[in-house]
Amino acid sequence: MLGEVFYWVFNMSITAALTGVLIMLVRLIKKVPRRITAFLWIVPFFRMTIPIGLDSPYSFMSLISKITTKTVVVFQPNDDISFSMINSVRGANSYFPITYKTNTLEDVFSVASVIWVIVFLAIILMMAVIYITTLYELRDSTCLRDNIYFSEKVTSPAVYGIVKPKIILPLSYKDRNINLVILHEKAHIRGLDNLWRMIAFLIVAIHWFNPFSWIFLKAFLADLELSCDERVLVKIGADRSKEYASALLECRRGTTVFASAFGGAKIRTRIENILSFRKLTWISLAVFSVLGGVILYVLLTNAG
pTM: 0.79
d(CA 293, CA 291): 5
pLDDT tens per residue across all 304 residues of the chain: 787 888 889 888 988 898 899 899 988 888 888 888 999 999 899 989 887 666 666 566 656 655 554 444 444 445 444 444 444 444 444 444 445 445 667 777 888 899 999 999 999 999 999 888 888 888 888 888 888 999 888 888 889 988 889 999 888 887 777 888 899 999 999 999 999 999 999 999 999 999 999 999 999 999 999 999 999 998 888 888 888 888 887 765 555 555 665 555 577 788 888 887 777 667 777 777 787 777 777 777 766 5
Half-sphere exposure of 230 (CA within 13 A, CB side): 23
pLDDT of residue 57: 63
Q: Are strands 158-160 and 166-170 parallel, antiparallel or unpaired?
A: antiparallel
Q: Are 44 and 23 in contact (CB under 8 A)?
A: yes
Report the C-alpha gap between 277 and 270 in whole angstroms.
10
Note the pLDDT of residue 115.
94
Spatial separation of the C-alpha atoms in residues 51 and 228, rounded to whole Å: 31
pLDDT at 263: 53
